[in-house]
Structure 1
């Protein structure tokens, strides 16, 4: 049961047992004012349809604790400990007074990630973006400037798009390692079925000691030849096939319901893994559709990236768009896909958010297909990169063309910086969640925290941009002034 309890807390009403008040300039107090908690509560309440049962924890406590975890880079247990010790964190999650006891157990963070789905977090980010745009339009009107979001025909703004991989927390998969793990799990399943079987039903032979010895003799070799590797894989496949036949025979006398949910799920995954590995062994190839690389996380897929550090990564592939420092996930998938096919959709979403097409789109080579170039040209959008055709013979035009290409690459570096920040500073470099839906929520929360930091830093960034503009004005003034006047001006300033 969920009871709506939304009310905007103020730091004046937060009671501290040792006296005093909260600092209104604290980062957690400011962050609490930016988040639209009422929008998140509407989505969160859909998880509780029944009117019975104990009241659930509020959405501010659920979402706030997840934001704290990602912002500070903590584990679930450490997140609860930090909340228990810090009054500002307790105010951020919606408590009305400081308390020494933990507001919830660390295991509740798993339920929070399940309830706050990535689609709800995406809608919350859209709400944040619209609020930010409305505030920018209001300030522009106060400065007697034109409103950029009036849906005019002119293209405005720069859109940056790119894709990356968010690696999952799994061991590096090898065929021989996966087969050994599958064999050990089938042996445990056989032991559990035999423990619940009638006494007259004997325990089948699994040859587990011989199988373990064959596995160790293969992996302990420094230089394992292809022939020896195929022999080791064939042996492990034979042991797993024999174990699966024993499980099928035992299931006639002992129902598989005696197995736990985790082991029954492992049995289904191992059956598919055995089929894939056997097919790859017979055809002598290393790839197959929907290849399983982890028994505990069967949704993880290999993503070929071709990077210097890792040619293949194992996790989720995602595409994002960056506009004025705000990064939004556009697509998240466990299967590899061609991100160049999503360019038109990303530009249309930009138009829905801002009311007009972008002036320029900055993307890498995979996005610059002929179809995408023609589509952008028909709508007056300049696609970054080297244009088609030969370079112009005119020296000035050729120089301007190269200068434009360098500027576009410099603009596109912003999305690479976003990926680096998300992977080095936050948890995108190794997603620790084990469930598929929870992993999607973790990635969405990562970008939500990054955007919240960007919104809090917006006043400082606007001041920095104003200073740069003033410096450009002064530089242009000296550049176009007569030499004598410029010298006298510099002397007066000195």
Structure 2
């Protein structure tokens, strides 16, 4: 059923305290809550629910928790548990009285993300853009000049090695076969971990001939288990069938193959090389980020599947910016990895370009490198440094949450700067309370 409306009771309760009396109206989170268009978000997300059944959690509550999770880069457990300790968080989520219990179960946030999907997260990113325009963090004229770049979003998986993947696949098959009552001839429960341990030790000692021999032994163990399962059953469950497909893929792939399997629970993970000295390879997916050239405010981000060529992703990035802002960028600044992009409706300037460049465009082209700092902040302060969400949908949602958190930090910083200006203007006035002055302004 559609989410129920949050009502503001006009009458006080005897044993409850109103958040209005606790929270400072000049606080940045309070002012952010007043700037958000909650009714518009409620209309957007209400269509995702059926008209029957139990009423869902209010939209403002779920959106507020998602914004807090993106802003502070918290897990579902942390944001739900800490919500009951912070009155400002409760005010942002639409509560009237101070609450002492968590508002929802931890799984509610992950289920809500699966319901709204990436389009719903794009609506939240669009809302941060609207708030940024109203606060003055970004100007409307800046939306016509953007910078685009890509980065790698590492997935939360262990470092893949052949020995580890082969042994883990064998263990998974043995476990599924036992659950279905299939009696295996031999499970290699003792020999498998021993061969894995030897392969790691040989690799550390740079005895690669012995290491390859141990890996070949692990392939033999896995192949025997696969053939034993296929001989003893004709009707295979879906989970066991997928595990057999992954095992055969591991047995057939070679070191120099493309589209290799690097993780059993995240089979879509790709190996991406970005030319970094400290980290030669990263395992995850590529993310496209688009920011305004002047302020560095994120106006679009996309979690891409695998490792596509940068030039092929530019058109999709500009289309997303047009959809979110309603303005088609006139000038776009990219690095040399975007050569051969094929975009004709937007003027694209590549880093290092010298001919037919006006002074204004040359100045903006120098600002292109500022997007690297934006990506760095998303990785160190946000969620882009390690993606903990599962699947292809998790790749897209995590990239959007990192962008939402970055924009919110810029907005809160701007709101705090306004408070500092108010203090300097009115702090010296005798007999005048700063809180009442901020309300008047």
Q: How far off is 1:463 after superposition?
A: 12
Partner of 1:300: 269
Q: How far off is 1:452 after superposition?
A: 2.6
Partner of 1:426: 382
Cα pair 1:302 1:312 within 8 Å, conserved: yes
Q: How far off is 1:168 after superposition?
A: 1.0
Q: 2:164 aligns with which of 177, 190, 200?
A: 177
Q: How far off is 1:356 after superposition?
A: 5.7
TM-score, with structure 1 as normaliser: 0.73
Structure 1 residues 6 and 169, CA gap change in structure 2 (3 angstroms): same
- Tell me the SS of whatever aligns to 1:31: helix
Q: How far off is 1:319 after superposition?
A: 0.6
Q: How far off is 1:210 after superposition?
A: 2.2
C-alpha distance in 2, partners of 1:412/1:11? Answer: 52
- Tell me the SS of whatever aligns to 1:159: strand
Segments of 5+ residues of structure 2 without an aligned counterpart are 421-441
Partner of 1:386: 352
C-alpha distance in 1, partners of 2:90/2:100? Answer: 10
Q: How far off is 1:300 after superposition?
A: 1.9
C-alpha distance in 2, partners of 1:106/1:156? Answer: 37
C-alpha distance in 2, partners of 1:11/1:220? Answer: 70
Q: How far off is 1:128 after superposition?
A: 4.3
- Tell me the SS of whatever aligns to 2:50: coil
Mapped pair 1:312 → 2:294: no
Cα pair 1:11 1:91 within 8 Å, conserved: no
Q: How far off is 1:28 after superposition?
A: 2.1
TM-score, with structure 2 as normaliser: 0.81
Q: How far off is 1:132 after superposition?
A: 5.0
Q: How far off is 1:426 after superposition?
A: 1.1
Structure 1 residues 10 and 421, CA gap change in structure 2 (3 angstroms): farther
Structure 1 residues 357 and 188, CA gap change in structure 2 (3 angstroms): closer
Partner of 1:49: 50
Q: How far off is 1:462 after superposition?
A: 9.8
Q: Write the mapping of 1:243-322 to structure 2, written as runs, cut at 5 A.
A: 243-252=225-234, 256=236, 265=239, 267-281=240-254, 285-289=255-259, 291-322=260-291
Which protein is bigger by CA-based radius of gyration?
Answer: 1
C-alpha distance in 2, partners of 1:78/1:342? Answer: 35
C-alpha distance in 1, partners of 2:397/2:40? Answer: 17
Structure 1 residues 415 and 11, CA gap change in structure 2 (3 angstroms): farther
Q: 2:176 aligns with which of 181, 189, 195?
A: 189
Q: 1:337 aligns with which of 308, 311, 325?
A: 308
Q: Give deviations 1:407-456, integer Å, cap 9, x for gaps.
A: 45641232111111111011210111223323422321221122233334
Partner of 1:445: 401
Q: How far off is 1:18 after superposition?
A: 5.1
Partner of 1:17: 16
Q: Write the mapping of 1:63-462 to structure 2, written as runs, cut at 5 A.
A: 63-130=63-130, 133=133, 157-194=144-181, 203-221=184-202, 222-252=204-234, 256=236, 265=239, 267-281=240-254, 285-289=255-259, 291-323=260-292, 324-347=295-318, 353=325, 355=327, 357-358=329-330, 360-369=331-340, 375=344, 381=347, 383-387=349-353, 407-408=363-364, 410-458=366-414
C-alpha distance in 2, partners of 1:176/1:427? Answer: 30
Cα pair 2:310 2:338 within 8 Å, conserved: yes
Q: How far off is 1:233 after superposition?
A: 2.4
Segments of 5+ residues of structure 1 without an aligned counterpart are 141-147, 150-154, 258-263, 465-494
Cα pair 1:11 1:29 within 8 Å, conserved: no
C-alpha distance in 2, partners of 1:415/1:12? Answer: 50
Q: How far off is 1:385 after superposition?
A: 2.6
- Tell me the SS of whatever aligns to 2:105: coil
Q: How far off is 1:81 after superposition?
A: 1.8
- Tell me the SS of whatever aligns to 2:186: coil
- Tell me the SS of whatever aligns to 2:111: helix
Cα pair 2:302 2:396 within 8 Å, conserved: no
